[in-house]
Amino acid sequence: MFLTKIRSRLAAMSSVEYLPERVSMLYRLSGTDVPIILFAAGITAFALWGVIGGSLIGGWFVWLGAASAVRYAMAQVYRRRQPPAEDAAKWENYFCLASALVGAGWGLALMLIGHTPTTLQELTVTFLISSIAMGLPPSLAPSPKAFTSFILPILAPMVAMLLTFGGGLNTSTALLMLVFATVLLGLYLSNHYALIETLAYGHENTLLLKKVQIAEKSLTAALSEQQIIFNTAAVGIAFVGQRKIVKCNRRLAEMFGYTPEIIQGQSTRVWFQSDEDFKKIGVEGYVSLAKGENYSTEIQLRKKDGTVFWIQVDGRAIDPGDPHAGTIISMTDINERKLAEAALKQTKERLDLAMQSSAISIWEWEAKRNTVYLDGALAQMTGVEPPLERYVTLDEMAALIHPDDMNTVRQAQADCIKGLRPLYRMEHRYKAAGGDWIWVLSRGGVVERSGDGMALRMLGTSVDITQRKRAEVELLSALQREKELSEMKSKFVSIASHELRTPLATILSSAELLEHYSDGLSAEDKLKMLHGIQGGVKRMNSMIEDVLIIGKAEAGALQFDPKPVDLRDLCHKVVEELRGGVAKQHVIDFVHEFERGSLNLDEKLLRHILTNLLSNAAKYSPTGSTVSLRLSESEGEALIVVGDQGIGIPAEDQARMFESFHRASNVGNRQGTGLGLVIVKKAVELHGGTISIDSKVDAGTRISVRLPLAQRAKAA
C-alpha cells in the first residue's frame, strides 16, 4: 500500500496534467515571496551573527537579492507576454534554466568562500537552515523540474566537497545534508501532491460550474420556451388539481369566454352543462388517469355565455397514484369540424339515399393500391348482405364479371387508362348473390394522372339496367313474335288462298253442272259430283279445324282430358280408317310389341297425332309404297314410330318443321297447310312426351313419338 502510494505520488509529480495551470502559478509565486524570504533571512543572519563569517552572510544576502531579482523579472515578463496554454512546457523550461543558474551560482559561491573543512561545515549548516527558512518548497511546488533545477546545483558540489575532504565530521555533515535534502524533498512532494489535488478539485469544480451554468441556461431557456409555448399555444392548456383550475393559458380562457385571471381558481364544473356530465367525466377520467394512461374524449362543453360547443379533451396525470393532485389537460375547439362532419354525414345520407333510389353505385380504382373500391349500393344491387362498402383486388373484381364480357370490359378500361378514349362506358353482366347475373351500365374516367401521364386514379358509376335489359329482350321477343306472326299470316293467306280456292272451285263447278246439266247427267256422274262437293267441304273443314286447334294451342286453351284408352286398339282403328281414305293407295304396315292395357291418355289428341303422321307419310310417299307404324314400349314410355319411303325433308327445313305454316322446300304441288306437325307437337307436349325427326331427301322420313306411361302430362 505504501509503495503504491509512493508510485502514485511520483507519477503525479512527473505528470504533465494541469501543466498550464502549474506554470502560471509558478510564475505568479515568483517574486511575491521575496519580502518573506528576506525577513526570514534577516532573522537567521541575526541568530548566526558571530557564529559564521561576515563575508558568508554578506555573500548570502547578495545571492538572495540577485535570485529574487531574477525571479521577479521573469514573473513580470510572463505577465506581459501572457503566453497561451500550449506554450506552458516551454515557459517551464525557461524557469528551470533560470533556477539552475541561480542554484549553481550559490553553489559556486559557497565553494569559493569556504577554504577549510571547518568553514565548509559552517557554511553547510548555515545553508540548510537558511534554505528551509527561504520557503523554497512552497514556492517551487508547481514544478518538480524547477525545484530539481534549483536544489541540485547547490547540494551536489557541497556533498561532493565534504565527501572529498573526508573525516568523520565532513562525512557526518554530508549525510546530514542528504537527510535534510530528503526532508526537503518530502516537504516538496507533499506540497506538490496537495497542489495537484487542489488543481484537480479546482478543475472539477470549474467543469461542474460550467455544467451548472450551462444547465441553468438550458433550464432558463427551456422554461422560457415552455412559457412562450404555454402562452401562445393554439390549443387550450390547463393544470388542474383537486378538480380546480390551478393555471391555464390565454387560449383556453378565451375558448370559454373568460380571462386567465378570472377562470383560474374556479372549479372545472364551470365547463360542463350539468352535474351529471361533470360527475361522469370525472369518473371516466379518473379510471384512465389512475392507470397512467392518457384520457381522451370528445364532449360538448359550455361557454361563459351558455353557448354549447364541441371540445377535444386530452389529459394525463402527473402522478398516476393520485390523479386529483395534478393533471395536465389540453383542449382543442373542434366545433367547426363537428358541424362539418354533421353536414357531411347529412349530405352522404342524402347521396346514399339518392344512389339507392336510383340504383347507382360508385366505384374507384387506385393504381398505387391496385384495388377497386365498391360502395354499399353495389352490394345492395347484387343482394350481398350486409350491404357494406369494400375493397377488392383486380382478380377478385374479374371474378365478378361475366366471362363472356371480361375481354371487352378489360379492353375498354385499358383504352381509357391509356388515354385512347376520354371516357369508359360499358354494359356488362355482374355476378349477384346466389350465382345470378345482373346487367349494369358502367361509366367512368381517369381523374388523376402523374407528371408523365400515367393514370393514378379512375372514378366511375355503375347503374343497374337489368330491368331495361329484360324489357329489351321482351321487346325483341315481341318483335320476333310479331315478325313470325306476320310471316305466319302471310303464309296463311297464301296457303289459305290456294287450299281454299281448289275445293271451292270444285264445289262451285260441280254445283253449276248439277244446276244446269243435271237432266243430261247420269246417276253415276251426279254421284261423283256430289262426292266431289263433299270432299271439298271435308278438306276445307279439316283445314279450318287445324287452324282452330293451332289457335287454341297458342292461346293455351287446348284441353288435355286424359281417360282410360287402349293405345294398341286406337292405333288399329286409325289405320283402318286411313286405309279406306287418304292412304287407300298405300300399304300401311302396323307392327306392335305393346302389351299394356288401358292408359290415361287423351284419345282426341292421340287421334290428331296418329292421323297427321300417317296422312303426311302417305301424302309425301309414292303411290303403292309402304307406310309403317310401330308401337312398342321403351324405358317406361310408349314409343310410336311412323316411317315412309317418300321424298324426305331437307336438312335446312327440319329445324322449322314445327313452325306454323312452314312446309319443306321440296313438297312441290302437294296439298297441305304446314300445320300437321305443329298440331302433333302440341298434342305430344300436352301428354308430357317428346317428338323427333330422322329424315333424308329421297330416302324417306322417320318420326318418333315418346309418351310417358306414368302420368306426367302438362295441364293445358
> Which residue type is seen at 131?
S
Phi, psi (degrees; rounded to nearest 5) at 373: -90, 130
Cell numbers 305454316 label which residue? 661
At residue 543, the pLDDT reads 64
CA distances from 706 to 364, 560, 636, 637 (A): 57, 17, 10, 6
Give the pLDDT confidence score for residue 310 in this predicted structure: 92
Neighbours of 575 (CB within 10 A): 17
At 404, the pLDDT band (50, 70, 90 cuts) reads very high
Q: Read off the DSSP letter of residue 422.
A: S
Quick one: which of 683, 657, 420 has its CA closest to 559? 683
Instruction: Give dist(CA 665, CA 650) in Å, integer.
Output: 7
Give 272's pLDDT tier (boundaries 50, 70, 90): very high
For residues 367 and 452, what is the distance between their CA atoms, to the nearest angstrom? 14
pLDDT tens digits, 80-101: 888 888 888 888 888 888 888 8
pLDDT at 713: 43
The whole-angstrom separation of Cα 3 and Cα 575 is 149
pTM over 0.75? The answer is no
Looking at residue 496, its amino acid is A
- Indicate left, alpha or beta for 292 from its phi (over 0: left) and psi (-120 to 50: alpha): left
pLDDT of amino acid 714: 46
Instruction: Taking residues 425-450, report their average pLDDT.
Output: 88
The whole-angstrom separation of Cα 463 and Cα 378 is 9
Cα 68 to Cα 33, 42, 72, 74, 642: the distances in Å are 9, 15, 6, 10, 159
Contact 297, 282 (CB under 8 A): no
Contact 371, 391 (CB under 8 A): yes
Distance CA 374, CA 461 (A): 10
Is pLDDT above 60 for 647? yes
> d(Cα 357, Cα 232) in Å, to the nearest integer?
51
Of the candidates 260, 256, 287, which has an alpha carbon nearest to the alpha carbon of residue 269? Answer: 256
Per-residue model confidence (pLDDT) at position 489: 57
Least confident of 37-51, 266-280, 419-433: 37-51
Which three cell numbers, joined as nine digits, stand for 216? 441553468
Angstrom distance (rounded) from CA 33 to CA 46: 20
Give percent helix, percent strand, percent coil of the chain, each to the nearest 5: 60, 20, 20
Each residue's pLDDT tens digit, 625-639: 888 989 888 888 888
User: 481 with 398: CB under 8 angstroms?
Assistant: no
Which range has the worst mean pLDDT, 249-258, 549-558, 586-595? 549-558
Whether pLDDT at 460 is above 80: yes
Strand partners, 393: 371
Question: Cα(323)–Cα(327) distance, rounded to whole angstroms?
Answer: 6
Q: Give the Cα separation of 394 and 49 in Å (integer).
A: 120
Widest Cα–Cα separation across the chain: 219
pLDDT bucket at 359, cuts 50 / 70 / 90: low
- Work out the number of other CB atoms within 10 angstroms of the CB of residue 460: 22
pLDDT class for 244, splitting at 50, 70, 90?
Answer: very high
Walk me through the domains of the chain, giving residue ranges and CATH numbers: 2-207 (no CATH), 233-333 (3.30.450.20), 347-464 (3.30.450.20), 466-556 (1.10.287.130), 558-708 (3.30.565.10)
Higher-scoring residue by pLDDT: 416, 17: 416
Residue 226's pLDDT is what?
Answer: 76
- Write out the three cell numbers for 187: 516537504
DSSP string for 193-220: HHHHHHHHHHHHHHHHHHHHHHHHHHHH
Helix (H) or strand (E) segment spanning residue 74:
helix 54-81
- What are the grid coordinates assigned to 93, written together? 523550461
CB 36 within 8 A of CB 135: yes
Q: 579-585 long-range CB contacts below 8 Å, 24 or more apart?
A: 582/615, 582/618, 582/619, 583/614, 583/615, 583/618, 583/627, 585/618, 585/623, 585/624
| Residue 365: Cβ within 10 Å count | 21
CB 53, CB 234: distance < 8 Å: no
Average pLDDT over residues 281-292: 87
Examine the pLDDT at 698 and tell me if it is beyond 80.
yes
